[in-house]
Copies of this chain bind each other. A is one copy, B any other.
Amino acid sequence: MPLSEFDLIRRYFSDLSVHREDVILGVGDDCALLQPPAGQQLAVSMDTLVEGRHFSPGADANDLGYKCLAVNLSDLAAMGAEPAWATLGLTLPVADEHWLAAFAGGFAALAAAQKVQLVGGDTTRGPLSITVQVHGFVTPGEALRRDGARPGDLVYVSGTLGDAGLALRAGQGLGVADEHLPWLLKRLHRPTPRLALGQRLVGLASAAIDLSDGLGSDLRHICEASGVGAVLELGDLPLSPAVATHVSETGDWTLPLAAGDDYELCFTVPPHRQAEVEGLASRVSCPLTRVGMIERGSKLHAVLPDGQQIGGMPDGYDHFAHT
């Protein structure tokens, strides 16, 4: 007998081990009932992952369960929010118990680590697609927005750039040294949302965004929202050995600037607070690298390691423009 929808939901998603006191009623009624903390604002973000677009047919279900939550938590990180609740809209071609168990396991692992409770959602039959919404808390007036960057602010990024893009290209046949592959694949399939960093940037960063589309495109969003321009020093971009090798061999900066899927934070900081940022890196176990500066105007440009200016910046991933 096929599993019914209700059996499915109950079996794999009713109990993912996180039980928060602010969840009055979780999965199983018409709505979940949640108690936001007094005086806090709610930060919410929704992201969809579609088979064939964001991941390949046959992708590992445990990785997918992890990643669909991770990319959403990355948005909370970029606002400096503390994560709390998630909902999951899961559309599946078949109700495969092994797949569901693996998917739920990947989701649960990250949810438990970040104390996020799955409180509701919907399971339907159709082409594989996963929509997650996350909900977090921020103190009024303190969220990290895109519109606060000012000329003279320093531009930072966390972690390293272009690793996920290189893993993807390796899967398409680009040669990558074997010793780099496991780590690159982890960067692609199990990105680390920079939640602790985002929360510590509250009161320090003037603007922040998470790098989902690529530094070129995402920094442009900060510039447009803030009404400023920026210069990037490409020689300062933090690159893993594999990406650094690729860039030096090809002279192509697309991976760190536009491949997307980095899920690092890009943020701006007033120059007199530089020392505070640099002290933060060790406390959040994540490198923080200065990669440029905010300027007057509206232009985003880049300087190559040899000092040569380049004009056009490769664009980030855009679901409809690049098809």
Give A residues with C-beta under 8 Å from B: 1-6, 8, 24-25, 28-36, 38-39, 41-48, 50-54, 75-76, 78-79, 81, 85, 87-89, 91, 95, 119-127, 129, 131, 133, 135-136, 138, 140, 143, 145-147, 208-210, 225, 318-321, 323
- 3 A-B pairs closest in CB distance: A50-B126, A31-B43, A30-B78
How many whole Å from A59's CB to the nearest CB in chain B?
14
Cα A31 to Cα B142 with chains together (Å):
13
Contact B53 A124 (CB under 8 A): yes
Bound-state CA distance A113–B75 (Å) is: 31
* Also in contact, A36 and B44, with CB within 8 A (given A124-B319, A125-B319, A320-B8): no
Q: With A35-B42, A87-B44, A126-B53 as given contacts, are A79 and B29 in contact (CB-CB < 8 Å)?
A: yes
Nearest-Cβ distance from residue A50 to partner chain B, whole angstroms? 4
Interface pair A146/B2, CB less than 8 Å apart = no
Q: Which residue from chain B places its CB closest to the CB of A6 in the assembled complex?
A: B318
Given contacts A5-B321, A35-B41, A127-B127, contact A209 B30 (CB under 8 A): yes
Cβ–Cβ < 8 Å partners of A34 in chain B: 41-44
